[in-house]
Every structure is written in C-alpha cells, then in structure tokens.
Amino acid sequence: MEAHLTYRLLIDGKLVDGASTMDVINPASGTVFATCARADPGQLEQAVQAAKRAFPSWSSLPYAERGAVLARAADAIEARAGELATLLVKEQGKPLPHARGEVAGAVGALRWFANQKLDIETLRETEQDRIVEQRTPLGVVATITPWNFPLALLAMKVAPALITGNTVVAKPAPSTPLTSALLGEIVADILPPGVLNIIIDANDLGGLLTGHCDVAMVSFTGSTATGRRVMESAASNLKRLLLELGGNDAAIILDDADVSEVAQRVFNGAMANAGQVCLAVKRVYAPRGMYDALCDELTRLGSALVVDDGLNQGAQMGPVQNRQQYEKVLQIIEDARARGNILVGGTAIERDGYFIAPTVVRDLPDDARLVREEQFGPVLPVLAYDSIDEVVSRVNDSEYGLSSTIWTKDVDRGMALALRIEAGTVWVNKHLDGPMDIPFGGAKQSGIGRAKGVEGLKAFTQAKVINISKG
Ligand code: ADP
C-alpha cells in the first residue's frame, strides 16, 4: 500500500476526510494500492455551497490577480511533478515518460490560462451610441473528468473556469481520483477557500452534481452515453454545457503517401495511452493498392511494441485503465475475430493487471463493432477503399465527429479532402497537435462547445451587452 494514505477531499479550503473511504486499483497489477476519501451527498452539498460563497469575491478580482494565483498554483504543482507523475502511472497505467508529459501539460495549461483575459469589446461606437460586450462569469462550474488523462483534463477545465472568475467543484473519475486529490492538497493553501473544491465519488455523485440548481455550468469529458445523461440533468436550471465526448476517428491514407512512414505515425496515434484517447486513431482507411503493405507494417509495429507496467523502464504502452474497459475491449476483439482477420495481438497478455496486446485487424465489414464503436483500447481495424467519394461517405457515416487525420504528399489534396470530413478537427500529415490557442471540440455526438483558445475561455462566461445612448 501507498505510504501516502490520506488522499482527502478539498472543501472550502480544507482537506477533509470523506464520509467513507474507497480503494484504488493499480491497473498494472489489478490490486488495491491506495485508499482515498469518498464523499457523500452532504459533502457534495458543502462543496457546492463553499463554491457559491466564494464566487462574489473571486469573480470581482481583476484578471491579473486571479492569474497570479493560478501561476502560483502552477509553480507549486510543478515543484511536485515527480510525485504526481509516479502517482499518475500507478492509478492510470501509462508509462512514466508519458505521465511526466501529462503533468507538464497540466502545468502548461494553468500557466497559459493564467495569462488570458477577456476584455470588454466595443461592438459599436458612433456619435449616438456606445455598445459594448462584457463577458461575465457564470457562477459555480462543475468539472467532471474521465480516467484517461485525469490530471491534464482537470487542469484544462479548472484553469479557464477560474481565470474567467467562476468557482469550481471538480469530480474526478472514481478509478483515477488520486492525482486530483494530490493536486487539491498542493493548491489548498494557494487558492482562496471555496474557489476550487474537489469531491471524490464512487460513480454515485455525478448526477447530483450536474443536476444541482446552484451549479451554473458543467464542463464534462467522458463517454457520449454519460454526456447525454449530463445534458438531461442540466435541463433543470438550463446549465451551460461543455461536453467533450467520444470519437471514432478515421485516419485516411492517400495513394501518394509513404507506407512505412505513415504506418508508424498512424500506429502511434492508435496506441497512445493504450488507445484510451478521445482523439486516438480508431479506424484506418488505405487505398486497396496499399492495403497489404500497410497491414504488414502495422503488424510489424504491433509485435515490436513493449507493453509493460508503466513504472518499468522501456515500457512503451501500459495496461488498459480499469477492468470494465478491459473486458469491453476483449469483447470487441472477440467480435472482430469472428468477422475479420487478426494480424497481431488479439488477446489479453498473460500476467496480472489489465494488459491487452496491441492488436491489428483486417478484412472487417463496415458494420463490425470495431469499425462502428469507439473501442478505446489498443485495437486498430484497417480497411481498404477504392475511391475518394467512397471513403468520405464511409468515414462520415458515424454518429461521432471528433477528429480525423489525412496522410498525403500533396497538401492541396489533403486540404480538399479535409473540407469534406465531418469533424471538429482534421489534421493533415500530423496528429494530436492541440495548441492552447486553437479551439478544440467535437462535431455531431462527439460534443458540444469548444475548449481552448478564445472560444474556450468564452465558454465559461456569458455575454452581457451594455448599450449606451450618448445623446
Ligand atoms: P466510463 O463509462 O468509462 O466510466 P464515463 O463517461 O461514464 O466513463 O465517466 C466519465 C465521468 O463521468 C466520471 O467522472 C464519472 O464518474 C462521471 N459520471 C458518471 N455518471 C455520471 C452522471 N450521471 N452524471 C455526471 N457524471 C457522471
């Protein structure tokens, strides 16, 4: 068990024990390695009320003062980066260098937002009129995060919420609560009481939080199914919503691409974080003439990938994060085995923990589960196409529309194709490039609203128009 036994809640500036405790499993062993506080509905209520009380004074601070507080929080988190990264590997499973990258990403997000500001904008200035728009904060924001990037996504939500003047009740996923709890401990003395509250549940408080009439906005990242429930429970008081949901992102390879170079990049994009990335490549479309060569390359890459406990040196991919997801991915693989040809992997790895071998599957029909559903695991279907019109319609035939990648030597061809893809982001000859100043979000059922960039800041505010007659 962990030496650090007191992963607590953060309510009204105080670190407090939960009404009960709960166990946290290391996915690399499948066994309990820590316990943490678990809140009950009464503690959730205390957190919401603390955030509500903190709102008037926090929201009336100038941006620069809120920014200075966020910058101090970023420094304090950076000073404990090593500890956070190790804990992240233990609760989430990813290899240590990737965990370090995630901690750095969280610090970077806090710093970037600490320097942002939404100024009053002049909409019209004439001899008669002055019309301006002020962006005002909403109030208490609930942030709900999933288990794939628990720390980076927490920072990506909390930072824009706080810089724009809102206060926050944050709820991590029950299987990865520890890095959020440790972050709470680190910033407890830096943020004024109630400005950030962290509640940990066992998947039982999300509905209460998103339905709460004192919560003005929900920023949620998770599955489309749960996103729908969040939307329903937000109806009571017309909460503002930022929903980052599932994806079934296609990589489209054009016939002029270099097979081995593209294979490596598509493979990396599919297996990153053991495939548990909303933006991971989840299906690959190759021209029929390139199909066999691409399958061969992907097979070679799949057999070479080092899968291990993320704390072990040399691990390139860790386990799937939790047992439920592990079983779901194995079921999708069984369906794929019955309907296509598994080229590499196709099984759990025989060891403790939730390890699945990197899997590549070919010859699947378009209605196979692995092609239609979001697998969220290290399993990649490779599909052949004969014409551009055909591949466009097959790629767009999905309820999802998060992102897509196009691989070609001809940037103009890439651009022309990108214009036809239904997605929030289309990358051409790159992947997973998400600068902080560029809006990010989903089309169709992959989400509502945009995070990052000016749009991502505005999402945490509402427009107030001030319309003045000078006459
Ligand atoms: P998974 O299905 O893999 O558990 P989810 O999308 O359900 O992923 O979970 C993402 C986050 O949403 C987690 O923090 C989870 O606790 C939370 N959650 C689950 N159910 C609800 C709900 N009804 N309302 C709000 N949040 C919820």
DSSP string, 245-278: ----PEEEE-TTS-HHHHHHHHHHHHHGGGG--T
250-435: what fold?
Answer: Aldehyde Dehydrogenase; Chain A, domain 2 (3.40.309)
Q: Is 429 exposed, middle or buried (0-12, 13-18, 19+ CB in 10 A)?
A: middle
Q: In this predicted structure, what is the pLDDT of residue 177?
A: 98
Query: How does residue 6 score in pLDDT terms, banded at 50, 70 and 90?
Result: confident
- Which residue has the least CA distance to atom 1 on ligand 1? 223
Mutate which of 147, 151, 226 for ligand 1? The one with the most ligand atoms within 8 Å of its CB, which is 226
Residue nearest to atom 14 of ligand 1 (CA): 173
Q: pLDDT value at position 64?
A: 98
Decide whether any atom of ligand 1 lies within 6 Å of the 230 Cβ: yes
- For 21-31, how does the pLDDT look when each residue is reduced to its tens digit (9 = 90+)? 999 999 999 99
pLDDT at 12: 98
207 CB near ligand 1 (under 6 Å)? yes
From the candidates 91, 185, 244, 297, give the one annotated as an active-site residue. Answer: 244
Its sign, for the CA torsion 319, 9, 218, 427, is negative
Average pLDDT (289-295) is 98
pLDDT confidence of residue 4? 56
Report the C-alpha dihedral over residues 207, 213, 219, 223, rounded to 10 degrees.
Answer: 20
Q: CATH homologous superfamily for 9-245+446-468?
A: Aldehyde Dehydrogenase; Chain A, domain 1 (3.40.605.10)
* Nearby residues of 331 by Cβ (< 8 Å), 6 or more positions away: none
pLDDT at 5: 58
The residue with tokens 């081995």 is: 260
Q: CB 261: neighbour CB atoms within 10 A? A: 12
Residue nearest (by alpha carbon) to ligand 1 atom 17 = 206
| 146 CA → ligand 1 middle, Å | 7
Statement: residue 3 has pLDDT above 70: no
Residue 223 in contact with ligand 1 by CB distance below 6 A? yes
Say if ligand 1 is within 6 A of residue 328 CB: no
What is the reported pLDDT for 29? 98
What is the Å distance from ligand 1's center to 106 Cα? 21
Per-residue pLDDT at 288: 98
Tokens of 442: 């989903």
The mean pLDDT value for 190-214 works out to 98
User: What is the per-residue pLDDT for 243?
Assistant: 98
Q: Does residue 108's CB lie within 6 angstroms of at least one atom of ligand 1?
A: no
Cα–Cα distance for residue pair 77/183, rounded to 1 Å: 7
Report which of 262, 255, 226 is spatially closest to residue 241, judged by C-alpha positions.
226
Binding site membership of 222 for ligand 1 (Cβ less than 6 Å): yes
Atom of ligand 1 nearest to the CA of 221: 10
Atom of ligand 1 nearest to the CA of 172: 14
The pLDDT, as a whole number, for residue 244 is 98
Length of the chain: 471
High-pLDDT (> 70) share of the chain, %: 99
Is 146 near ligand 1, meaning CB less than 6 Å away? yes
| pLDDT (tens digit per residue) in 90-116 | 999 999 999 999 999 999 999 999 999
Q: Is the CB of 232 inside a 6 Å radius of any atom of ligand 1?
A: no
- Which DSSP helix (H) or strand (E) runs through 434? none
Total-model pTM: 0.97
Task: For the chain, give the mean pLDDT.
Answer: 97
Interval 32-48 mean pLDDT: 98
For residue 457, pLDDT over 80 is answered with yes
Residue type, 129: D
Mean pLDDT of 216-239: 97
Domain spans of the chain, in order of start:
9-245+446-468, 250-435
pLDDT at 2 over 80: no
> CA-CA distances (angstroms) from residue 343 to 237, 295, 462?
51, 8, 51
- Residue 349 CB neighbour total at 10 angstroms: 15
| Ligand 1 atom index nearest CA of 207 | 24
Q: Which of 22, 48, 141, 144 to mutate to test the pocket of ligand 1 (most atoms within 8 A of CB)?
A: 144
Are 448 and 109 a contacting pair, CB within 8 Å?
no
Q: Which bin fits 67, alpha (ψ -120 to 50), beta or left (φ > 0)?
A: alpha
Residue pLDDT, tens place only, 244-265: 999 999 999 999 999 999 999 9
In the prediction, which pLDDT does 471 show? 86
- Please say if 127 is a catalytic residue: no
Non-local (6+) Cβ contacts of 245 within 8 A are: 221, 222, 223, 224, 227, 278, 400, 402, 442, 445, 446, 447
Count of other CB atoms within 10 angstroms of residue 183: 27
What count of other Cβ atoms lies within 10 Å of the Cβ of residue 304? 11
